Structure 1
Amino acid sequence: MVSTSTAFLIENGSWCLLTDIVPSSKVDTLRLKNDLLKIGKKLRNSLGLRFDPFDFRTGVSGIEVSVSGIAGTISTGDTVLEIAPKFVPQGMISADWDASLLLLMQYAKKRHIAYNRSKYLSASRHNFVDLMAIAFLDSVEAGLSDQMIHTYQTREERLPIMRGRLNLQRQIKSVFVRPHLLECDVNQLDAVNPFNGLLKWAAQALTASVRSSSIRRRVSDISQLFPGRPDRSIAMRGMQVNPPPQFRTWTGALEIASMLSAGLSHTASRGSQNGYSFVFNMEKLFEHFVQCSLQRAVSRVEKLKLTVNAQVQTAYAMPTSDGKVVFYSKPDNVVKNVDKAVAIVDAKYKRLSDQSGAKNKKPVNQDVYELVAAMTAQRCRVGLLVYPKVHGDAELSDGDLQVWTVDAFGTTLHVGAVAIDLVGLHSLNDLQKVDQKLASVLQDILSQAEVSQS
């Protein structure tokens, strides 16, 4: 087997020489650049990124690369890039960042249990796809300990005796050709079905992409157990893949397979080696994570019956002439007390002040303008911007709330900002702490707004 070179980058981190992250003696850096450019264009389309994730420039010492918008594992030929999220401290890539990201993904998928493999995983160094493979193996083995997924399939049969139900249309057509046979439709449980097709696809995709030889053998053996052909079409039609109720033990394995389908794609090849990427649009993932956490957090706010509506589109500026464009607001989350909007919560996957993070004193103006527009559209006086805690943002430590007030048309608006530390997510308890922080911050800013109004 050809050995692989592994390089570590941080999303939105410093520019890195290709010869530093991957020794030139092993890899043609110009070809690697071209491979990554092709991969970046494909990922931009498949993940809905705003920009190509890879950027290159030629410096005094050679070709430099930076990456933005994605985190996970990129593989092209014999080169593997591990891309840590931007909230990991620069130059201090934690051995736990991939486990934290795995838990972040899991929570954003609205699962209620954790994989609970952190201690085992920390025993040896795995890449991100390896972690997914271990979680997948655990879930599949749990399913196999019960029973393989079977679904009812209808088969057409010609029999001398009645079985199942008679198909009258086919029977009339064959009465003169085969009068001695009955045209039957027979329902029977079959293991060749879309669920097992997805699991077989996931197992084969992981076999081709994991780095650990022991994990690769286990996943390869598992892939042979599923009948039929690999097929991920069921996952491509929707985010939720729910098996029949009697096969609920397979829910975890199917969910991991669905995530693989969303993030794992063929990227490039070199010789006989295929390359795969398993990366996620971090902006969308963070927005979904905050939405899920907020939905749990509102139940912890005292004395209020709060609910959360996501992606509510509301007109806030109407044209004075017919045929002109209406301005709409579509915030991430509208928090309501009964039926009245009381707060707008927007997730911003960036540094507090700007993308370069020069002076972290306040949110960028555009974020505040969008938030105030949404507050105006929903007729509420509280807005909250939620950021990931990024190393170097001195103004916002984990869970601290900063608030600015805006006098507008006889009322006072409260605009808040809070950062959430995502580096140390290892268990369900850590995720519940995030829920509690959001609940405390929301209660604090709502209380401040209530006091100022009274």
Structure 2
Amino acid sequence: MTHLTVHEWGRVRVHNDGGAVPFGHFSRRQANALLAAARAHPLSGNEGTAILSDHHRHLTARQHVGVIAAPGCSLEILPKIDPDDAQDDAGIRRKLVRMLDVALGLNIGDGQAAAMAKQDHTLLEILIRLFAERLFAEAKRGLPRAYMAQQEDLPSLRGRLNVTRQFTHNAVRPDRLACKFDNLIADTPLLQIMKSCVLFLRRHAVAFETVRRLDELRFLLADVSDLSSNALPWKKVKIDRTNRRWETLYGLARLFLKREWQSTHADATARYGITLLFPMNKLFEAYITALMKRALAGTNLTVHAQGGFLNCLIEEGENGEESFQTKPDIRIKDGERTITVIDTKWKRISNNSGDKKRGVSQADVYQMMAYARLYRPNEVMLLYPHHAGLSPTPLDTGYGMLGGGERLRIASVDLLQMEGAIAGQLTNLFAFKGIIAEV
């Protein structure tokens, strides 16, 4: 099994010649298998190169992080949180798990994730182990059960008599009674999904302890039906007060089995492959949104993600149609009034003091000017990840828009800090401008 790690936009070498494959290389066969897995993913783009591109002698990772696995090989792609900081892969992996925890609401807990990341496991192995350990702990506390309607011919009455069946099928069997009753069983839609996830992950786990834990879970779930991935009853799962403690596990199962932007892709034709990918721009946005809600908790401000939907233009004439709809990443509102619009950008902002544009895209500025006109906030903001080349402290620079009173702020946030410190940075951005009264 060949496993390699690369960072966003990094290269991994491919050995195209015959003979033994050098250390740190994939063979051409392995590279093709990884490319096929990446191209089969919904995030691969029209040309299939949005995740991984082939340059004959090397593969180039794009702006997606996670794990691509194929028979005999796997590639882990880690984010470039701060290119100027010589942080080891374990630290970056630990930070990535924390970002996923906050952004997706998985309630993993930093301590458990940090302990596993220090063991130098891949991201996939860490998430599998987290799922297995949490599921085992909950299963030992007791499996959630539900009453299921059943029908059976019995020698004595149980529940209610099925009159129709009794006088048709059992007309010549007076020793049998057609019974209808409710039976308390563990073979529920929730546990069917849990078992399917256990069986799926068992094929991809590598660490001995993880494999052992998954085998123990197979034994504990022996009475639960085995269903194919296409037959899983997702719509029948109801999370309520009786099974609330299983909500995080259900979220992790969706992470592994469902096809969503932040989840895995498992091709039914590639039995032993798995692709667990997260677009960093989307992950950064969701992470900041969750921390912004934490930062502004207890104030009169509310945080709204991916909304607004105001149009830029309207066709002239009677009943003119509107077009060019907008969807800001984050809007901060005071009641019904939008006071700030924020767009998160997973890009490296320039540290060149002589560059007045600081590497900010002209298209991004035009976009923010449109938001300022449409939503009428006090200000609009472009928020970037901080890096050591900028300054010791996060960036916070203001600009006025010519021809009007609108204001644009360009700020950065240091992701190498813990979540509490990052929430404090976000709070400071607003407290400094007087939007909220105190930090």
Q: Normalising to structure 2: TM-score of the pair?
A: 0.82
Residue 67 of structure 2 is matched in structure 1 by: 73
Q: Distance in 1 between matches of 2:164 and 2:194?
A: 41
- Asked if 2 retains the 8 angstrom alpha-carbon contact of 1:236 and 1:261, the reply is no
* Shift of residue 336, structure 1, vs aligned partner: 0.9
Q: Is 1:206 matched up with 2:201?
A: yes
Q: Give the number of aligned pairs.
A: 417
* Shift of residue 229, structure 1, vs aligned partner: 0.7
Residue 283 of structure 1 is matched in structure 2 by: 281
- Asked if 2 retains the 8 angstrom alpha-carbon contact of 1:200 and 1:231, the reply is no
- Residue correspondence of structure 1 range 406-417 to structure 2 within 5 A: 406-409=401-404, 412-417=405-410
* Shift of residue 447, structure 1, vs aligned partner: 5.0
Runs of 4+ off more than 6 Å: 46-50, 233-236
Residue 83 of structure 1 is matched in structure 2 by: 77
Residues 265/413 of structure 1: CA separation in 2 closer, same or farther (3 Å cut)? same
Residue 421 of structure 1 is matched in structure 2 by: 414
Residues 415/319 of structure 1: CA separation in 2 closer, same or farther (3 Å cut)? same
* Shift of residue 80, structure 1, vs aligned partner: 2.0
Residues 184/435 of structure 1: CA separation in 2 closer, same or farther (3 Å cut)? farther
Residue 192 of structure 1 is matched in structure 2 by: 187
- Asked if 2 retains the 8 angstrom alpha-carbon contact of 1:164 and 1:186, the reply is yes
Higher relative contact order (CA 8 A, sep 6+): 1
Q: Distance in 1 between matches of 2:34 and 2:356?
A: 32
Q: Distance in 1 between matches of 2:427 and 2:233?
A: 35
Alignment match of 1:32 (pick from 21, 30, 33): 30
Q: Distance in 2 between matches of 1:436 and 1:139?
A: 30
- Asked if 1 retains the 8 angstrom alpha-carbon contact of 2:379 and 2:408, the reply is yes
Q: Distance in 1 between matches of 2:44 and 2:152?
A: 42
- Asked if 1 retains the 8 angstrom alpha-carbon contact of 2:350 and 2:390, the reply is no
Q: Is 1:156 matched up with 2:151?
A: yes
AA aligned opposite 1:178: N
Alignment match of 1:369 (pick from 359, 366, 370): 366
Residues 87/120 of structure 1: CA separation in 2 closer, same or farther (3 Å cut)? closer
Residues 98/232 of structure 1: CA separation in 2 closer, same or farther (3 Å cut)? farther
* Shift of residue 118, structure 1, vs aligned partner: 4.6
Residue 438 of structure 1 is matched in structure 2 by: 426
AA aligned opposite 2:264: L
AA aligned opposite 2:344: A
- Residue correspondence of structure 1 range 35-434 to structure 2 within 5 A: 35-45=33-43, 52-58=50-56, 63-89=57-83, 92-111=87-106, 114-118=109-113, 120-121=115-116, 123-159=118-154, 162-165=157-160, 171-172=163-164, 175-179=167-171, 183-226=178-221, 227-230=224-227, 237=234, 243-262=239-258, 263-266=263-266, 274-299=272-297, 305-310=300-305, 311-321=307-317, 325-352=322-349, 361-389=358-386, 391=387, 394-395=389-390, 399-409=394-404, 412-424=405-417, 430-434=418-422
AA aligned opposite 2:250: L
Q: Distance in 2 between matches of 1:220 and 1:81?
A: 25
Q: Normalising to structure 1: TM-score of the pair?
A: 0.80
AA aligned opposite 2:358: K
Q: Name the % identity.
A: 20
Residue 451 of structure 1 is matched in structure 2 by: none
Q: Distance in 1 between matches of 2:220 and 2:413?
A: 42
- The alignment's C-alpha RMSD in Å is 3.5
Unaligned runs of 5+ in 1: 425-429, 449-454
Q: Distance in 1 between matches of 2:425 and 2:232?
A: 34
Q: Distance in 2 between matches of 1:408 and 1:69?
A: 36
Q: Distance in 1 between matches of 2:377 and 2:47?
A: 31
Q: Distance in 1 between matches of 2:347 and 2:326?
A: 21
* Shift of residue 93, structure 1, vs aligned partner: 3.8
2:220 aligned counterpart, secondary structure: coil
- Asked if 2 retains the 8 angstrom alpha-carbon contact of 1:154 and 1:188, the reply is yes
* Shift of residue 121, structure 1, vs aligned partner: 2.3
Residues 352/44 of structure 1: CA separation in 2 closer, same or farther (3 Å cut)? farther
Q: Which moved more, 1:243-252 or 1:40-49?
A: 40-49
Cα shift readout 1:79-135 (whole Å, capped 9, x = no counterpart): 221211121537754312222211211111235561522553255321112111221
Residues 332/77 of structure 1: CA separation in 2 closer, same or farther (3 Å cut)? same
* Shift of residue 295, structure 1, vs aligned partner: 1.8
